[in-house]
Structure formats: structure tokens, C-alpha cells
Structure 1
Amino acid sequence: MSTTQVSTERLEAITSSILQPTAANGVQGRTAPFEEVIGGLTALITSHRAPGTEVLRFPPVMSRALLEKSGYLKSFPHLLGCVSSLTGTEASIRALVEGRAAGQDWVDGLAATDLVLTPAACYQVYPIIAARGDVPRSGVLVDVESYCFRREASSELGRMQAFRMREYVCIGAPDTALAFRENWKARAEELATQLGVPFTLVPASDPFFGRAGKLMAVNQVEQALKFELLIPVNSEEAPTACMSFNYHQDHFGNTWGLRTDDGAVAHTACAAFGLDRLTIALFATHGLDVDAWPPSVREALCI
């Protein structure tokens, strides 16, 4: 039996104990032990919040118009989830749901609303900050969290379609945003060491759509715009990205008209934490009995 098979069987046993499967792939219920560790991770990440950081928490939906303007639709249409609702008269809707509409399934009556499922926590931050006016060159910091959705094709254990994302976002001068990203790369290694998980920090790219997306991914790696902290959850050969550190350059600055107080286009960066993936990684590394985890890890998580 291969190492990958062994780790897969072990992970199946772990995830079945801390997550409750549902009828949909990548959609699981969270158990009390899982939520206890999530709470510890949340507190640990909060302890690294810089003074003066604004805190924002969002529901799992956002404006469709804002998402379209952000560029997400063009870059990641294959991952997007839209909120739809039944439209029509009372009689036509009733006929659909009761199965009386000739040749129609009830889903045929759905129409897109003005909402989409949030794909990344930080997307709602940029227009909010832009609406307030210029930002200092020294930067504006935001701590943001949201449930997010991505229509992932993979049924890989631990990969969720609906998941919690925590982010720290920096908006300011180019050197400010880049320094923020570099600082968080170093902090992330310290965090992973505290958590007692094996990891590597590597250049990475986003899963852009289509043939043109492959070139965008190459450019992203060549320009060192994205780094991921990988933890071997499923296997050593294919470790899981549990944190990412992104420098967006002036993309969101130009998109939303973000300016620094000297009139220049603002640059942005973010440090993102996949809370559910990190929690699974902790159980995969240290086992199901939280009381038996290394004391240093329990102390870091206050559990």
C-alpha cells in the first residue's frame, strides 16, 4: 500500500470524526471539536492584528455588480456561484414547484438575482474604502472574514465548496503594500511553527480560467505576486494550500479608484487564512484527541 493510500485512509477517518458529510460534495457540517479548534485559530490570528486595523465581517453573499466590476467574472467564471430565485406570477411559480408546468422542471423558472456567493473575503473591502476617499501612503489595514464559496471540481478530501476565509488587507503606497505582504510571509512561518505542522512556503498562482488564464498564472509566478503556505494534508506529493500572501499591485486601485493622499494609484495586498483547511491540517498532523496534542500547540490555540 502506498504512502498516499495510507494518508488518504487516515484522513478519511479523521474527517469523518470531525466533519458531518451531507448530500453535496464539499459541503460538511462542523462538529464541536472542529469548532473549538477554529475558535483557537481565530484567536491566534487575531492576536497578530496590528493596532488601528479596522474589523469587518460579512455574510456569504455580495453584490453581483461589484463582483463583475472587480474582474472576478472574467478571471474565474468556473468557480462562481450565483444566487437565483423563482420569478413569475403566483400561478406560474406554483405550477413549477408542484410539477404541473408542461415540460418544465422548477429550476427552469429560476432567474439570477443581484447577489452572488462571496468567492473571497477581501472583495467587499476595496469599494468600501474607496468610497471614503484617499488613503494615507502609510496604508489602511482591514481585518475581514466571510464564509466563501467556490465551485471546486475536485472531490479531494478536505476541499470544501463553502468555507471560512480570514484575511488581513493592506491598501496604500506600493512599498507599503509589498512590505505588508513580505512581513506576513515571515509571520506565517512563525504561525505554522507554533501550530506544529510541517509546511513549505512557495510561489504560486491562482486557478485562472481558460487558455489565457494559463499565461496569467505564469506571469503571476514570474512576478512573485502570490505565495502559498502548503501543508501535507492529503499527501506529501500534493500538499494543501492553507494560507496565501498576495500582492495585487494596482489592480484594485485602478478598478475602484483607490488613491493615496499624494494622488497616486493605491496598491493592495492581503494575507489570507483558510480556517477550515488549517483546522483539518491540525487534526491530520496531531490526531483526533485534542487533549493529546503537544502542549505548545494547545497553548498557542488556548484550548
Structure 2
Amino acid sequence: MNTVTEHAAIAAADAQQASTYNASDVTLRARLIEAGILIDTGEDGLYGRSQVFEDVIDRLNHAITLLGADQEAEVLRFPPAMRRHDFEDSEYLKSFPDLAGTIHSFQGNDRGHHRLLEALEKTVSVGEEERTDEWMDQQKPTRLVLTPAACYPIYPTIAKRGALAEDGATVDVFAYCFRHEPSIDPGRMQMFRMREYVRLGSPQQVMDFRQKWIERGSLLVNLLGLPFEIDLANDPFFGRGGKIVADSQRAQQLKFELLIPVATPDRPTACLSFNYHMEHFGEIWKIAQANGELAHTACVGFGMERTTLALFRHHGLDVKAWPAEVRDFLWGDTHSRISAGLEALS
């Protein structure tokens, strides 16, 4: 067994024994909407969230904060949009052009506005039938794009400060993200929240960080009473060349995911990811270590909606009926349970 995942895999095997599966993409989604936990907007992968759902998100977010309290991370928060210039530099479009979301706006004159309204009138006149996008001919790209991952604004921000300190840097970031992949699977939302801890420094510093968070992520999901497994993974790189990149990512063991059955038992959902980027972002933004060498980076990403959906999937739609240990953890003395878990890992 790979030493990076040894402790987590053992914990996963114990948790896996307790799992039972009886839901599908459609039925879980339907049950959540019928219960008012998710609000159907008419677009696959775009949902409103109820107070109950948001309360669980808040409790989960608090637990993650306690889990990383000793990391002395700089807390940064960004809006769900980023500067197009930085997005272009990130090379995201090389790997995931199909997932990117750009922001367009009307920037014309009165004549252009008139053409827009004419086209819009034709569009809405069809009612609920399939509509054209003719009115969008009057829209032009802005200087913004939708943020694809919470960590993306971090790298240009850190780069502007100059070389890292001797012990590198750790950042805590939380943001709404967008990926264009409409699906009836409620775990595959187009707009979702991602909580991340990002580490910048030497290869050893960031690899130690990733190992630590594989163990801590496993601890969290165990405390949530959820079945899981950790597996080697790759990102969904685009096109024929994407398979080569994906195979290389797996061969170098750059990405691991914590998988929980959410909508279907045979396709568990990646709820946490543990990523080692090597010097990729350091090279793009010229982020230097204290010794002048390119910084390496790693991150742990918590899928907030996905983990919350997993809780509803395995513990039921009535949070008051969830197992006592899970309720005590989320709505009780979260701090002491996290502290005890971390002490057991040390």
C-alpha cells in the first residue's frame, strides 16, 4: 500500500462496512427537492438551498476550521469571479475548456440595445419551448470569468508579495466556484462551494502537508459517520491529449480523492481531494521559495455541497433523526471531538 494513503485506507475500510445503498441520481435529487432541502431552478445542476441545508454547511465549515486551526493559515476570501487576465495565465483552458465559464455583458449603444430587445422579444415569444440565444449576439466578454476552483485567485495574490518566507505559506480560502457540467446528479452542481487549505513551499513541505490532510480529511468523514474510500485519481482533462496528461498525473500520484457514495453506489462521489501541483503554479506566476527556487504547491479541497449531500444520503432527510454521535459532533462539542481525533493521529 502507498504510504501516502496507508492510515486513511485503513480507516476507510472500517467505515465502508457500515454502508448501505438504495438511491439513484434521480430519486435522491427528487427526494431532496420534494423535502424542500434543495430548490429546483429548472436548470440541471443549479439549485437553491434551504435553511436546513445551509445550517449543515455552516456546521461542516466550522468543523473544517477547527480541523485546520493549528495550521496558522492566512484566511483569504474571494468572490465567485476572478480577473480574466489571471485566468488566462492559469492555463485552465488548456486542460478544461469545456468546464470554463466566462462573463459577458451588454456594452453597446442605443441602436445595439434596440436590436437586443427585438431579439429578446422573439426569444420569449416561444414561451416554454426551446429558446434561441440570438439576443446574446449583443453581449461582449467582460474582464471577468467565473472562478473554477477556490485556490485559483491565491497564486497571483501570493506572487505579488515576493519570495516566500523560510517556512513557506499556508492559505485558507472559501469560495463559490463554477464548472459547466449540467447533470441530474445532485452531487455534480454547476455552482458550488469549495473550502481549501493551500500550501506553498518546498516539495517536502507541501508533500508533508498533503499527507497530513489525507489523514485529517479521513478523520472528519469518520466523525460524520460516512462510509468512504481514498483512491488515486486524475482530473477530467479535455480532448485526446487529455488521457496522456491524466495518465501522467496518476503515474506521479499527484491527486487522491476521498470518495463517498452519494447518488449511486457504483459511482462514488469525490467529496474531498488532495492535490500536489508540483511547481506548476509556481512557474506560471514566478512564486519563489526563500532560497530562490520555484515554489511547489498543494491543496486539500472540501466539496461543501457534496459532503452535505452525503450526510443527507446516508443519515436521512430529517437532521433531527440523524445518529446521536453525528448530531453531537456537528451541533455539540465539535471542538473536543476534533481535538481528540487530532491527538489520536499524532
The answer to whether the Cα contact below 8 Å between 2:182 and 2:189 also exists between their aligned partners in 1 is no
Which ranges of structure 1 fall in alignment gaps of 5 or more residues? none
Q: Does 1:258 align with 2:287?
A: yes
Query: Who is 1:156 aligned against?
Result: 185
Query: Who is 2:58 aligned against?
Result: 39
SS at match of 1:77: coil
2:271 pairs, out of 242, 250, 254, with: 242
Which ranges of structure 2 fall in alignment gaps of 5 or more residues? 1-19, 123-131, 333-346
Shift of 1:109: 0.9
Residues 100 and 211 of structure 1, relative CA distance in 2, 3 Å threshold: closer
CA distance in 1, matches of 2:323, 2:273: 25
Residues 51 and 159 of structure 1, relative CA distance in 2, 3 Å threshold: closer
CA distance in 2, matches of 1:8, 1:111: 36
Residues 271 and 100 of structure 1, relative CA distance in 2, 3 Å threshold: closer
Q: Does 1:279 align with 2:294?
A: no
Shift of 1:101: 10
Q: Does 1:107 align with 2:142?
A: no
Taking the TM superposition and a 5 Å limit, the aligned residue runs for 1:1-303 are 6-8=23-25, 10-16=27-33, 17=35, 18-49=37-68, 50-99=70-119, 105-302=134-331
Shift of 1:90: 2.0
Deviations 1:224-280, CA, capped at 9 Å, x for gaps: 100000000112210001000000000001011111111111000000001001100
CA distance in 2, matches of 1:12, 1:73: 31
CA distance in 1, matches of 2:29, 2:202: 46
Shift of 1:157: 3.1
CA distance in 2, matches of 1:59, 1:293: 33
CA distance in 2, matches of 1:21, 1:101: 26
Of 147-156 and 80-89, deviating more is 147-156
The answer to whether the Cα contact below 8 Å between 2:38 and 2:47 also exists between their aligned partners in 1 is yes
Residues 281 and 6 of structure 1, relative CA distance in 2, 3 Å threshold: closer
Residues 251 and 7 of structure 1, relative CA distance in 2, 3 Å threshold: same
Query: Who is 2:7 aligned against?
Result: none
The answer to whether the Cα contact below 8 Å between 1:96 and 1:109 also exists between their aligned partners in 2 is yes
Q: CA RMSD in A?
A: 2.0
The answer to whether the Cα contact below 8 Å between 1:251 and 1:267 also exists between their aligned partners in 2 is yes
Deviations 1:2-37, CA, capped at 9 Å, x for gaps: x98744465134321210010211000000110110
TM-score, normalising length: structure 2: 0.83
Deviations 1:271-293, CA, capped at 9 Å, x for gaps: 00010011000000100111111
Residues 113 and 289 of structure 1, relative CA distance in 2, 3 Å threshold: same
The answer to whether the Cα contact below 8 Å between 1:227 and 1:246 also exists between their aligned partners in 2 is yes
Deviations 1:146-183, CA, capped at 9 Å, x for gaps: 10000014332332000001100000111001110111
Calculate percent identity across the aligned residue pairs: 49
Of 67-76 and 101-110, deviating more is 101-110
Question: How many residues are matched?
Answer: 301
The answer to whether the Cα contact below 8 Å between 1:137 and 1:173 also exists between their aligned partners in 2 is no
The answer to whether the Cα contact below 8 Å between 1:80 and 1:149 also exists between their aligned partners in 2 is yes
Amino acid aligned to 2:44:
N
SS at match of 2:198: strand
Amino acid aligned to 1:155:
I
Amino acid aligned to 2:148:
P
